[in-house]
């Protein structure tokens, strides 16, 4: 009866522990409630736009573990001031929490596309240099405030990714819940902005007349919805002999800065007080003009250079076409194409001539479209001969291109957000004073460059422009072929190769001044990369308070944005050795089963056998995909492994105790139910292991004490207390230390295999051999245990 009371006391202590967890959860809520009372310091002339309190921050493993924060920024903002405060919540009374390295990536228009784990972006990903800048801030979760300012930010939606700095998981320690400090990193953030209220509204196409005494001054105007240049007339009046130079900056969407502008120039109003500034605007957008005084005009362009630009005449031939959206009804899955009634295909055929510039545009919506990947493909439409593998024909001793009219040309395609640009023959794109490489350069005489493709992860919201222009080749070489006519060359370097070229061919021939072409264009959006993650991951969605993004969850050691990078994956031999260590180490439980059977512990023997089976198949299923083998679902095997492992400790402790068989069987049944509940609740928790072991050890010690008081001697043989029990306890202690404190991802296969071995061997020494006659070898069957002929081999009491 006393044993029953003890068991009820232990169960009550478990209930008290559950109450303790409720108390800890209440403490955490109180801490968060305290954080909600945090008051940020509001600066003069600033006002608070948004804040987020107690955002959970996790170590970066993939985009599944990042937190996303949304900041709305209005127009006319001169300073956006982001405040961050991160600290550690200590959720238990074990150890202490160390500050973590928190990283924040901030970007306008879309989620920042970053690779904190060091993988390279896959092939065809667009160069990040031509996208919006990603602002990065790194600090520790020590409770101190950090601020980050962006001067004259673009209006619209800004997004921040927040995560703890990536660490290689292979070098991280495997920590057991309940043995180490339970810490959670949280983040408080807010946004304050300062706006410029003194901005005059003007007409972009009429000009500005400004008194010198009013400088500095801000103006804003809205442009028309076309690609024509703006010619802004600026007149300064009220000039004196000691007047300084006047500086002028123009920027679209936001106020100009020293780094971001469409126009930046200066002039001396004493020499000429009126200037016409010509520039290409963003169609249908606000533009800001800042006029100030300059003490020095070093490294600043003269405003006269903006009176006429060499590219303004090119803009007269720009045609803008709007693409149609073809929605597929799934997350981030849609196409863009020229309006068509064809329900099967949204691919566009863009017809070009050398005398025009053609631009197509489409909209990427905020929130709805920014969480996938945008794919842009372009190809020259060649003649049927090209696709059938014919070699190019020779005409007048010159090889001709695979076009319908045998023309030589080059197509330059530019990509911009918010505006068009002028494609140049050099393969670059010019927009006012800025130049950047073209998105595509397609060449009709080179089979390797008639097609190109880019992928843009998390595309920015806004209006996207694709601008096309073709250039005719004025001089073309004979261009011999190689690789059985599958590759074609147009450069003169091809003639230097050891190829057979008829001597009658000239090195060059005159090209054409006018040409035409058709570009096949495909613009589409999908989740992840093409709707999938190569063959080594799953395309999943992550949500953050209404924000949704797609990401790849990689498996089997693969990494990178689309799970195509195998550089950090272990070799197949290494993976095979690892899974063999983890599975074959369980075979030592055969010895535990054998010893339990010969000592007449049949229930315990069954538990050891089930533990061996479940652990073996669980580790075989939990291995890398290349070598994994699952007989059933992995979660079933995992439950069986943890459950049977805990039951082994429980039934072994009951077998060591001095209690009757009826009470022992009752305890075994009660333990089986409670351990099943604990394993279902949280199989990784230290409580799920500690509670049955603590109760079992209490039953063991109390039964030994009561039995000693009754018979005034120890129940088991002296050798059990002096040899086998200490040896078993040492093995169990070493195994628990290895399991709880020494495991890392790198040595897991070795340490965990050692854990299997030690636990299996400890059972052999802990099970008392008291159900048989004294004097029997504890590791051999007793006499008459088995009457089969082969059992006589183990009977050493009789001569063989």
| Local structure of residue 532 (DSSP, 8 states) | B
What is the C-alpha separation between 327 and 397, in angstroms, rounded? Answer: 51
Same domain, 187 and 205: no
Same domain for 216 and 83: no
Name the β-bridge partners of 16. Answer: none
Indicate if the pLDDT at residue 661 is higher than 60. Answer: yes
Do 209 and 156 fall into the same domain?
no
Asked if residue 775 belongs to a domain, the reply is no
Pairing of strands 208-211, 230-237: parallel
User: Which run of H or of E encompasses 18?
Assistant: helix 2-36
The DSSP-derived string for 246-286 is: EEEEEEESS---SSS-SEEEEE-TTT--EEEEEE---TT-E
* Residue 159 CB neighbours (<10 A): 22
Q: Is residue 794 part of a domain?
A: no
Structural domain boundaries enclosing 429:
318-526
Residue 107: CATH number of its domain = 2.60.120.680
pLDDT tens profile 588-620: 899 899 989 888 888 999 999 999 999 999 999
Instruction: Tell me the pLDDT band of 625, cut-offs 50, 70 and 90.
Output: confident
Q: CA neighbours within 13 Å on the CB side: how many for 386? A: 20
What CATH number is attached to the domain comprising 227? 2.60.40
Is residue 257 within 8 Å of 151, Cβ to Cβ? yes
In a domain, 602, yes or no: yes
Residue 741 covered by a domain: yes
Q: CB neighbours (10 Å) of residue 45?
A: 12
Mean pLDDT of 8-22: 47
Check whether residue 648 and residue 685 sit in a common domain. Answer: yes
**Strand ranges of the sheet holding 77-90, from the earlier edge strand across to the other edge:** 47-57, 183-195, 77-90, 145-151
- Phi, psi angles (nearest 5°) of residue 412: -110, 125
Three-class secondary structure assignment of 607-673? HHHHHHHHHHHHHHHCCCCCCCCCCCCHHHHHHHHHHHHHHHHHHHHHHHCCCCHHHHHHHHHHHHH
Q: Is 345 found in the same domain as 493?
A: yes
* Range among 438-447, 580-589, 624-633, 732-741 with highest mean pLDDT value: 580-589
Which pair of tokens denotes residue 374?
Answer: 């945008």
- Are 521 and 539 in a shared domain? no
Do 324 and 423 lie in a common domain?
yes
DSSP for 348-383 reads EEEEEETT-EEEEEEEE-TTTSTTSEEEEEEEE---
**10 in any annotated domain:** no
Q: Which two tokens stand for residue 457?
A: 């992860």
Residue 400 three-state SS: coil
pLDDT in the model for residue 315: 58
Global pTM reads: 0.79
Percent of the chain at pLDDT > 90 equals 32
Q: Do 299 and 226 belong together in one domain?
A: yes
| Whether 378 and 461 share a structural domain | yes
Please count the structural domains in the chain. 5
Cis peptide before 500 (omega within 30 of 0): no
**pLDDT band at 388; cut points 50, 70, 90:** low
Quick check: 456 and 332 in contact, CB under 8 A?
no
82 pLDDT more than 50: yes
Does residue 715 form part of some domain? yes
* Distances 484 to 479, 488, 753 between C-alpha atoms, Å: 14, 10, 57
Residue 39 clears pLDDT 50, i.e. is over it: yes
Residues 189 and 207 in one domain: no
> What integer pLDDT is reported at residue 54 of this predicted model?
82
**Confidence (pLDDT) at 42:** 84
Instruction: Provide the Cα torsion 721, 722, 723, 725; round to 10°.
Output: 30
Predicted local distance difference test score (pLDDT) of residue 403: 60
pLDDT at 458: 93
- pLDDT greater at residue 161 or residue 792: 161
Helix (H, G, I), strand (E, B) or coil at 483: coil
Structure tokens belonging to residue 337: 């194409």
Burial class (CB in 10 A: 0-12, 13-18, 19+), 780: middle
* One domain, residues 598 and 741: yes
Name all contacts of 716-725 with Cβ < 8 Å and 24+ positions apart.
716/768, 716/770, 717/769, 717/770, 717/774, 720/768, 720/769, 724/765, 724/766, 724/768, 724/778, 725/765, 725/766
CA angle 610, 613, 619 (to 5 degrees): 130
Q: Pick the last residue of a domain from 309, 326, 342.
A: 309
Instruction: Using the 3D structure, point to which of 568, 595, 629 is the last residue of a domain.
Output: 568
> For 324, what's the count of Cα atoms within 13 Å in the CB-facing half-sphere?
13
CATH number at residue 742: 1.20.1070
Any domain includes 759: yes
Query: Are 293 and 322 in a shared domain?
Result: no
């Amino acid at each position: 009866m006393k044993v029953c009371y003890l068991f009820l006391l232990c169960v009550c202590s478990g209930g008290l522990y559950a109450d303790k967890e409720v108390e800890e959860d209440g403490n955490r809520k109180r801490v968060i409630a305290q954080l909600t009372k945090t008051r940020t310091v509001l600066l003069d002339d600033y006002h608070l736009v948004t804040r987020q309190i107690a955002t959970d921050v996790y170590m970066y493993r993939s985009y599944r573990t990042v937190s996303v924060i949304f900041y709305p920024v209005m127009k006319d903002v001169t300073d956006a001031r982001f405040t961050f405060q991160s600290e550690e919540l200590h959720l238990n009374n074990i150890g202490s929490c160390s500050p973590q390295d928190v990283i924040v990536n901030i970007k306008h228009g879309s989620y920042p596309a970053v690779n904190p784990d060091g993988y390279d972006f896959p092939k065809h990903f667009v160069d990040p240099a031509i996208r919006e800048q990603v602002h990065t801030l790194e600090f520790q979760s020590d409770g101190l405030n950090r601020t980050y300012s962006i001067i004259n930010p673009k209006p619209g939606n800004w997004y921040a990714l927040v995560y703890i700095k990536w660490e290689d998981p292979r070098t991280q320690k495997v920590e057991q819940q309940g043995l180490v400090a339970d810490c959670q990193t949280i983040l408080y953030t807010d946004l304050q902005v300062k706006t410029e209220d003194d901005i005059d509204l003007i007409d972009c196409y009429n000009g500005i007349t400004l008194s010198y005494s009013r400088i500095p001054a801000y103006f804003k105007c809205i442009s028309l919805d076309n690609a024509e240049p703006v010619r802004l007339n600026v007149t300064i009046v009220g000039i004196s002999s000691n007047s300084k130079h006047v500086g002028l900056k123009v920027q679209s969407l936001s106020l100009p800065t020293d780094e971001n502008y469409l126009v930046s120039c200066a002039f001396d109003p004493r020499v000429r007080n009126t200037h016409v500034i010509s520039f290409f605007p963003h169609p249908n957008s606000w533009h800001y003009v800042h006029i100030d005084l300059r003490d020095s005009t070093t490294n600043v362009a003269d405003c006269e250079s903006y009176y006429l630009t060499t590219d303004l005449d090119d803009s007269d031939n720009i045609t803008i076409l709007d693409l149609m959206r073809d929605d597929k009804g799934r997350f981030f899955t849609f196409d863009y194409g020229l309006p068509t009634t064809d329900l099967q295909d949204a691919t566009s055929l863009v017809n070009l001539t050398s005398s025009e510039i053609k631009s197509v545009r489409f909209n990427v919506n905020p929130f709805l479209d920014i969480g996938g990947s945008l794919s842009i493909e372009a190809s020259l439409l060649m003649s049927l001969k090209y696709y059938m593998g014919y070699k190019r024909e020779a005409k007048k001793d010159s090889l001709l291109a695979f076009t319908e009219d045998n023309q030589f040309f080059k197509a330059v395609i530019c990509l911009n957000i918010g505006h068009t640009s002028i494609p140049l023959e050099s393969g670059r794109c010019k927009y006012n004073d800025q130049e950047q490489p073209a998105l595509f350069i397609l060449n009709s005489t080179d089979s390797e460059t008639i097609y190109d493709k880019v992928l843009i992860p998390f595309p920015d919201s806004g209006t996207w422009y694709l601008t096309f222009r073709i250039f005719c080749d004025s001089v073309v070489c004979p261009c011999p072929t190689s690789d059985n006519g599958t590759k074609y060359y147009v450069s003169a370097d091809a003639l230097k190769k050891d190829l057979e070229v008829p001597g009658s061919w000239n090195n060059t021939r005159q090209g054409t001044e006018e040409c035409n072409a058709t570009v096949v264009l495909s613009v589409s959006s999908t989740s992840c990369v093409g709707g999938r993650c190569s063959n080594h991951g799953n395309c999943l969605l992550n949500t953050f308070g209404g924000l949704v993004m797609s990401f790849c969850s990689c498996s089997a050691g693969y990494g990178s944005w689309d799970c195509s990078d195998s550089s950090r994956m272990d070799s197949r031999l290494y993976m095979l050795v690892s899974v063999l260590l983890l599975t074959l180490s369980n075979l030592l439980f055969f010895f535990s089963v054998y010893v339990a059977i010969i000592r007449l512990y049949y229930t315990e023997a069954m538990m050891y056998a089930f533990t061996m089976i479940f652990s073996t198949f669980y580790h075989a299923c939990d291995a890398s995909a290349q070598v994994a083998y699952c007989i059933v679902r992995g979660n079933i095997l995992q439950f069986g492994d943890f459950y049977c492992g805990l039951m082994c400790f429980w039934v072994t402790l009951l077998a060591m105790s001095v209690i009757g068989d009826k009470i022992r069987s009752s305890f075994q049944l009660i333990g089986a139910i409670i351990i099943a509940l604990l394993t279902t609740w949280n199989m990784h928790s230290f409580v799920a292991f500690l509670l049955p072991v603590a109760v079992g050890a209490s039953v063991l010690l109390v039964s030994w004490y009561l039995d000693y008081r009754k018979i005034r001697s120890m129940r088991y043989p002296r050798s059990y207390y002096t040899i086998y029990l200490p040896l078993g306890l040492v093995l169990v202690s070493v195994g628990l230390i290895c399991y709880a404190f020494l495991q890392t991802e790198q040595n897991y296969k070795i340490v965990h295999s050692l854990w299997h071995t030690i636990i299996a061997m400890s059972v052999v020494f802990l099970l008392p051999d008291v159900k048989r006659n004294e004097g029997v070898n504890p590791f051999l069957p007793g006499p008459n245990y088995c009457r089969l002929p082969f059992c006589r081999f183990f009977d050493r009491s009789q001569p063989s």
